[in-house]
Amino acid sequence: MTPASRYETHEHDVLIIGAGGAGLRAAIEALEQGARVAVVCKSLLGKAHTVMAEGGMAAAMANVDKADNWRIHFRDTMNGGKRLNNWRMAQLHAQESPDRVRELEQWGALFDRTADGEILQRAFGGHTFKRLCHVGDRTGLEMIRTLQDRGVEMGFDVFMECTVTRLLKDGDRVAGAFAYWRNSGDFVVFKAKAVVIATGGIGKSWKITSNSWECTGDGMALAYDAGAELLDMEFVQFHPTGMVWPPGVTGVLVTEAVRGEGGILRNNNGDRFMEKYDPKRLELSTRDVVARAIYTEVKEGRGSPHGGAFLDISHKPAEYVKRKLPSMYHQFKELADVDITRGPMEVGPTCHYVMGGIRVDAETGQSSAPGLFAAGEVAAGLHGANRLGGNSLSDLLVFGRRAGLAAAHYAQKQSWPSMEDAQVDLAARRALAPFACGGGENPYAVHHDLQEVMQNLVGIFRTDEDLRRALVALDHLKQRAKRVSAQGSRVFNPGWHLCFDLDAMLTLSEACTRAALARKESRGAHSRIDFPKTEDGWGRKNQVIVKKGDAMDLFEVPRPPLPDELEQILAEDK
């Protein structure tokens, strides 16, 4: 009997897992190439994590600062990433993002405007020029709605509230996925000639995070299990400004646009402390620097009442603040009883973004597993050791499009895959295991403990001792996770759903910890107290993680040298 006769089965040329900016852009491009496309996502369409993006997308359009061009954007990105970036990705990204933004506009997006009617751009940390195209502080919503409408118009098949738990293979080639419907708990099999993973980040493994519940690293874990390589997993970005109070909203993001629009950071003595940490760029320094500065101020006793720093924009006219930062205004007013047009906010670092992820080819997004492509936050390379604000949304468009294109072309050359029943049976058995584990561990408790471990031991500042303790703790948590149990029915059962998410989070947490332990230097978002210097030797290599049997194998790969003309651009830096 074939799997098709037992479970609901769908066949498409290209299967896209994830409906954030990257997944939707990939879908549109694959449709453009004439492929039949399925998009699968855990939430309702239009509600992926991308919807929360606030400040804007970076593209050297030179609408505001005429001197801007792709070379400077390239250089800023490489410098922000401490030169660990994949140079080809940084180049393509800087060159192509203006077109990707214009395209969005032509599909109906409405950006804020300059006086002469062009797309307005704002300043952001680490960008030499005003570069972020934006819509107030809800740029992600504008992006996702535009892409969603475009995809619906072009006719992709959407499978929403459907979670993939395993990739299926035909021999070595990735050829589909096994998933469950959240609403019913029924299983579904997707067969495809090419698969694109666009599942976003891993922030939910930390206690204080700006990420939505979906960011459990599923895509990286799926790819890892299917044999694909992960790259740069030690680099996790802590955004300097998350809310610190009240407790329920701790970690919720305060957009960098507050600083982009002129917001000032102070400690409890009223000192503008960034003068000490980065006198040139002040509040608009890169995120790694500002996050460490705030952390240090708090640690040394100069923090705000709830353990953060003060961020103040109230020197700007109230009307201006409300117009440029409307959702920040409401967020603080409604959730924290603070009127940001009158007084400062309290902010502190929050786990925000993962630079590491699936190792991909720069041009095509192809992973090291045949038939498997990746784009967006789930993929690694563009951002190196630290991402600049605004470079993610443009990343989603540039590399979402490239992955969709390459996947569609790859699919044209493939025959229909055939899959053994055994894989599907195994996936189904694994999925149902938590129901058979009566009286086992509560998945929420395991998740809670995982977040404590990552927050306390694999945070902004790291040491050999902490990281080793984290590995021991993770091992223990893995044992507990094997015994998690689900109660109730299979119909929309969050406790059961969390059992799958836990597996992925544990895998990625381990990958992050192992890579962090091995990188004996400080660079970008990775700060080792025991190795505080940035070492040239480490700047010439990236770390790769791959599954070997049941164990994690970590090895170094040399960073490809830059071609002369790009070296030249970097050298022009004053």
Partner 1 sequence: MAQATATLRVYRGDRETGQAIDYQVPLTPGMVVLDAIHSIEAHQSPDLAVRWNCKAAKCGSCSAEVNGRPRLMCKTRMDSLPLDQPITVFPMKAFPVIKDLVTDVSWNYEVNKKITPFRPRPNVEWKMDQADVDRVQEFRKCIECFLCQNVCHVLREHDMKKEFGGPRFFVRSAALEMHPLDGADRAALLKDQLGIGYCNITKCCTEVCPEEIHITDNAIIPLKERVVDQFYDPLTMIVRKIFGSQ
- Which residues contact ligand FAD by CB under 6 A? 17-23, 40-43, 48-50, 52-57, 139-140, 163-164, 198-200, 210-211, 214, 218-219, 253, 352-353, 376-378, 389-393, 396
Q: How far is the CB of 177 from ligand FAD (least distance, A)?
A: 8
For partner 1, the closer of residues 117 and 537 by Cβ is 117
Q: How far is the CB of 95 from partner 1 (least distance, A)?
A: 20
Q: Which long-range contacts (CB under 8 A, 24 or more apart) does 262-266 make?
A: 262/313, 262/315, 262/316, 263/311, 263/312, 263/313, 264/311, 264/312, 264/313, 264/315, 265/290, 265/293, 265/294, 265/309, 265/310, 265/311, 265/312, 265/347, 266/309, 266/310, 266/312, 266/344
Residue 156: how many CB atoms within 10 A of its CB?
Answer: 25
Instruction: Out of 45, 284, 360, 481, name the contact with partner 1 by CB under 8 A.
Output: 45
Contact 58, 388 (CB under 8 A): yes
Q: How far is the CB of 445 from ligand FAD (least distance, A)?
A: 22
Q: What is the CA radius of gyration of the chain?
A: 23
Q: How far is the CB of 521 from partner 1 (least distance, A)?
A: 35
How many residues bind to partner 1 according to rule CB under 8 A?
66
84 binds partner 1 (CB under 8 A): no
For partner 1, the closer of residues 144 and 220 by Cβ is 144
Give the helix/strand (H/E) hosting 472. helix 464-482
Question: Strand 345-354's sheet: what is its strand order?
Answer: 236-243, 345-354, 309-312, 264-266
Residues 370, 356, 412: CA angle, nearest 5 degrees: 25
133 binds, among ligand FAD, partner 1, none (CB under 5 to 8 A by kind): none
> What is the bridge-based pairing of β-strands 345-354 and 309-312?
antiparallel
**Touching partner 1, residues 182-211 (CB under 8 A):** 183
Using CA atoms, how far residue 297 sits from 268, 300, 454, in Å, is 9, 5, 22
Catalytic residue status for 315? no
Choose the catalytic residue: 12, 73, 259, 287.
259
Choose the catalytic residue: 134, 239, 514, 526.
239
Cα four-point dihedral sign 134, 136, 140, 144: negative
Give the residues across from 319 on adjacent strands: none
Instruction: Out of 268, 314, 442, 455, name the contact with partner 1 by CB under 8 A.
Output: 442
Contact 374, 73 (CB under 8 A): no
Cα four-point dihedral sign 319, 251, 509, 202: negative
Give the residues across from 178 on adjacent strands: 166, 189
Which residue reads 């830096």 in tokens?
A: 573
253 binds partner 1 (CB under 8 A): yes
Q: How far is the CB of 162 from ligand FAD (least distance, A)?
A: 6
Instruction: Give the integer Cα–Cα distance in Å for 484 and 502.
Output: 10
Instruction: Give the integer Cα–Cα distance in Å for 549 and 529.
Output: 33
443 binds, among ligand FAD, partner 1, none (CB under 5 to 8 A by kind): partner 1
17 binds, among ligand FAD, partner 1, none (CB under 5 to 8 A by kind): ligand FAD
**Touching partner 1, residues 466-525 (CB under 8 A):** 486-489, 491-496, 498
For ligand FAD, the closer of residues 473 and 504 by Cβ is 504
Q: How far is the CB of 215 from partner 1 (least distance, A)?
A: 10
Instruction: Out of 8, 34, 153, 317, name the contact with partner 1 by CB under 8 A.
Output: 153
Instruction: Give the integer Cα–Cα distance in Å for 513 and 509.
Output: 6
Catalytic residue status for 281? no
108 binds partner 1 (CB under 8 A): yes
User: Where does this chain bind partner 1 (CB under 8 A)?
Assistant: 43-49, 51-52, 102, 105-108, 110-113, 116-118, 135-136, 138, 140-142, 145, 149-150, 152-153, 183, 212-214, 245-249, 252-253, 327, 330-331, 334-337, 442-445, 448, 486-489, 491-496, 498
User: Active-site residue numbers?
Assistant: 239, 259
